[in-house]
Amino acid sequence: MAEIKVNMKNRQRIAIAQKLGQPDRIPIDFSLASQFNYLHGWLGLDGRRFLLDPAYVLDAQLKFINKFQIEGTLGPVFGLAIDPTYFNAADIIIKKDTSPWVHGHLNTVEKLKDFIKNYKEPDPWSAGNFPLICNGYAYFKNVLGDLIGAPMGMLGPVDIATALCGSTNFFIYAKTEPELIHSLLEKITDFMIKNIEVREELFKPDNHDFSIYDDYCAFFNRQDFLEFAFPYIKKVWDAYTDKDSIRQFHCDSPLDHVVDLLPEMGVNVLLMFDPKNDIAFFKEKIGDRVCLKGNINPLKFLRFGKPEEVKREVKRQIEAAKKEGGYIVSTGGELADGTPDENIFALIEAVEEYGKY
C-alpha cells in the first residue's frame, strides 16, 4: 500500500470554490474515482481486479496523488458496473483492459413493453451490484477514515435508461413511444430515491450532498430536455438535498442550449467537459449561481499537447472562469490513457502561477 499523503489544503480550496467562494488559489480535482483508463495505462492495471479489489484501486490512486502532490477525489471505481444492474435488464461486460461496460436488454419496443408490464421494484439494499459499492466503501473508510466521503452519487435517470435500452434505441423510443420512456424514467427515478435512503442509513454522510452523472441527457433538444430529463433529475435532488447541499452535476455533452435551466434543475456545481462548452459563456450565464468545474481538454491538450500548450490553455480557462470565485480546474471527463507526466505537471504549475486570487 502506498503511503497516504493527501493534500488537505487543496481539499479546503475545493470546498470553498464549491460554495462560490475565492480560496487563496484555484483548486484542482482530477476525480480519481473515474480514472480507470488513465491509471490502467499508467500502472498496467487489470480491469477485472480493479473492479473487485478495492485495495488495488486505492493503491493506484495514492500513487497518483503522491507522485503529483495534488488531490483527486478518492473512491472505488466501477465504470458502468453498478447503477444499470439494479433493474435486471443489462449484462455487465468486464475485461482486463477496459472499464466495465453495459449491454442492455431493452433493445426492442416489445422488450421494453414487457419490462414495464412485469416490473417489480428491486430491493434497494441488495439490487444488482450495489453490494460492490458497500464493500468498496467499507475498505476505503477503514483505511482512510474521514479522508473518504460517503458514496452519495449515481448515474442520472437518462444515463441509466440509455444503458438499459441502448442509446440510439432510447432516443428513438422517446419520439415513438414517449409514454413507455416516461414510465421507465419514473421507475428508475423512484428506485434511485429509495436507494439514496439506503445509502444514507448505511454510510451516514455528514451532509446532504449528492452528485448526478448524466452525459446523455443533453443529447435532447431543449424542449425534450425539459420533458425527459429536467423533471426526473430535479426529483432526485428535491428528495434528498437541501439549500446548503452540494449538488454536483456531471455532463460531458454540449450544454449551451440548456445551460440556463441547470440552476433551476438543482445544479450548483457543474463538472463538465466538451470542447463546445466554452467556459467564458458558462461563467456569464450561470457563474453567479453554479461553481464551474472543468474544462481542460483531456485529449487535445493533456494527451497530445506540449507542456507549454497545456499552460496556455489552463491560463485561458482560469482568466475566463475565476472572476468572483466558484471555479475548479479539472478535465471533466477522464484523463486519457498515455497522458504524459510532464503535461500533468504543466497543468499543476500553471494553476500555481496563474490561479492566485
pLDDT at 256: 95
Candidate CATH numbers 3.20.20.10, 3.30.2130.30, 3.40.50.970, 3.20.20.210; the one for domain 8-354:
3.20.20.210
Q: Phi, psi (5° rounding) for residue 251? A: -150, 125
Looking up cell 480493479, which residue turns up? 50
Q: Between β-strands 153-155 and 101-104, what pairing exists: parallel, antiparallel or unpaired?
A: unpaired
C-alpha span between 104 and 162 (Å, rounded): 8
- Per residue, the 3-state secondary structure of the chain, as one string, reads CCCCCCCHHHHHHHHHHHCCCCCCECCECCCHHHCHHHHHHHHCCCHHHHHHCHHHHHHHHHHHHHHHCCCCCCCCCCCCCCHHHHHCCEEEECCCCCCCEEEECCCCHHHHHHHHHCCCCCCCCCCCCHHHHHHHHHHHHHHHHHHCCCCCEEECHHHHHHHHHCHHHHHHHHHHCHHHHHHHHHHHHHHHHHHHHHHHHHHCCCCCCEEEECCHHHHCCHHHHHHHCHHHHHHHHHHHCCCCCCEEEEECCCCCCCHHHHHHHCCCEEEECCCCCCHHHHHHHHCCCCEEECCCCHHHHHHCCCHHHHHHHHHHHHHHHCCCCCEEECCCCCCCCCCCHHHHHHHHHHHHHHCEC
Q: Where are the domains of the chain?
A: 8-354
C-alpha span between 343 and 185 (Å, rounded): 41
pLDDT at 77: 83
Is the separation of the CB atoms in 97 and 90 below 8 Å?
no
Q: pLDDT digit of tens for each residue in the chain (357 aa)?
A: 666 666 668 889 999 999 999 999 999 998 777 788 888 888 888 888 888 899 999 999 989 888 898 867 788 888 888 999 999 999 989 888 888 889 999 999 999 999 999 999 999 999 999 999 999 999 999 999 988 889 999 999 999 999 999 999 999 999 999 999 999 999 999 999 999 999 999 999 999 999 999 999 999 999 999 999 999 999 999 999 999 999 999 999 999 999 999 999 999 999 998 888 999 999 999 999 999 998 999 999 999 999 999 999 999 999 999 999 999 999 867 888 899 999 999 999 999 999 998
pLDDT at 297: 92
85: number of Cβ within 10 Å: 23
pLDDT at 231: 98
Sign, CA torsion 161/164/170/174: negative
Prior bond of 295 cis (ω within 30°): yes
pTM, two decimals, is 0.95
pLDDT at 201: 96
Looking up cell 483548486, which residue turns up? 27
Is the separation of the CB atoms in 57 and 50 below 8 Å?
yes
